[in-house]
Amino acid sequence: MRDAHLVQDVTATIRDVPDFPKPGILFKDITPVLQDGALFRRVCDWFADLAIAHRVDVLVGIESRGFLFAAPVAAKLGIGFAPVRKPRKLPFKTRKATYSLEYGTDSIEMHEDAIRPGQRVMIVDDLLATGGTMEAAIGLVRELGGEVVATAFAIELGFLDGRKRLANGGAVEALVSF
């Protein structure tokens, strides 16, 4: 489901930012993709095609750049959108998942009524790196009774092998890979 022209256009538009957020990291910045309205629409159409192909009931977006893709796609398709956020950012009762980082841990939360049992879910984020955040989000959706049929990313950093951590999350889809 990857359009070679779209992959080429997105790859050419992503900006590399050296030493962000810390020295030694080459940050892949999607902001230029978002600034190009036609290209942004094409990327959202790609996510929408995936959601249709996987017969998704709900799109889950991971804070914060996952929201940029999941919310407009959910609106376009007329399906639900559920945010996954950092702790204490959601106003209602939440479920929490804690996951390991290179040095320490982090957590994410989701409203406990965001997913109904049996709903087919695709979880969206802008970037797949080590897979820890997405693995935790998959766990939250499954805890709520949802069936994660796919995870989808605009960018995958393949050399970090994050895909290996997502075996229990259905298909893993990435538009561009570095």
Closest CA to 34 of 2, 81, 72, 61: 72
| String of DSSP letters for the chain | ---HHHHHHHHHHPEEEET-SSTT-EEEE-HHHHHSHHHHHHHHHHHHHHHHHTT-SEEEEETTHHHHHHHHHHHHHT-EEEEEBSTT-SSS-EEEEEEEETTEEEEEEEETTSS-TT-EEEEEEEEESSSHHHHHHHHHHHHTT-EEEEEEEEEE-GGG-GGGGGTTSSEEEEEEE-
SS3 56: coil
Active site positions, annotated: 65, 102
